[in-house]
Amino acid sequence: MSSSSEDIRKRSSRWPLYLGALLILWFLFWYLIGPLPADIAEIAELMMFVGLAATVTLSFAVVAKQFDFLSSKQGLYMTLIAVGFALWTAAEGSWFYYYLVGLDPFPSIADAFWIVGYILFIIALSTNARNIQKRFSTGMLAAWGLLSIALAVIVVGLDVLPLLADEITIDIIIAIIYPIEDILVMIPALAIVLKFKSGEVAKPWGVLVLGFLLTAVGDIMYAFAENAGLYSSPYSPVDLFLSLGYVACLISALLFKQVYRR
């Protein structure tokens, strides 16, 4: 084995340490903004989300370029993910703008950006899950089906049914779309986790799936807390989940670039 191959193998074996160190730093940053006055902390938090989304977008655009964008299946997945995060960056920026000018950001153009971005993620994850060569065993297929049904029941029970008790308005319809899209993200994400074999390629996909799952959990928690009148910002654990989702997606992009380096 050449020294360069050995160096690559050593760097690859250290990625869990890098991941752990980055997450620890992120938690420290998150709680450092705690002593700030609420208005300043709110602005800092909103700027952080815009910056995170933009960084993830650029990172996946770089990975998509490695595959010549739409010239291959992997290029298609990465391009869809990059465009999806670009839309989420526009959503975060729009939300920040509405906050600065004192307007209610819900419902607004930000919701259109988030919803369409979700659709691109669903397409990318579903297509990738379907194209993974390994097939489900009977037991694994049953596990995936049961977990998917359980997730759907929990999300519908927590976030959809309480909304249906109110008069159906455009606000309610938009609010219902989010948990439904969360379900549609988590189901193929689970399929990828359960189908992927161990190996270098599984690492970035696994971390990306973790990012989407953290985002979905944060979104579901936000909807539940908002419906119950429990949500407060800044310093909300819900927002911490959402930010960790972005961080995990960023790490996955860096891993994709390493694994698929030409």
- pLDDT reading at 132 higher than 60: yes
Please give the average per-residue pLDDT across 234-247, as a whole number: 83
What domain range includes position 94? 3-259
Which range, of 9-13, 57-61, 154-158, averages the lowest pLDDT? Answer: 9-13
Please give the average per-residue pLDDT across 22-40, as a whole number: 69
Closest to 210 in 3D by CA, of 239, 240, 238, 190: 190
Cis peptide before 107 (omega within 30 of 0): yes
Q: Across the chain, what does the average pLDDT equal?
A: 84
Provide the pLDDT for residue 2: 47
- pLDDT reading at 85 higher than 80: yes
- Rounded to whole angstroms, the maximal C-alpha distance in the chain is 68
Structural domain tally of the chain? 1
Closest to 49 in 3D by CA, of 91, 79, 82, 81: 91
Q: Rounded to an integer, what distance in angstroms lies between the CA atom of residue 141 and that of residue 137?
A: 6
Q: Label residue 135 by pLDDT band (50, 70, 90).
A: confident
Share of residues in the chain with pLDDT > 70 (%): 83
Q: What is the CATH number of the domain that holds 115?
A: 1.20.1070
The model's pLDDT over 165-205, given as tens digits with 9 standing for 90+, comes to 878 999 999 989 999 999 999 899 888 888 775 556 677 88
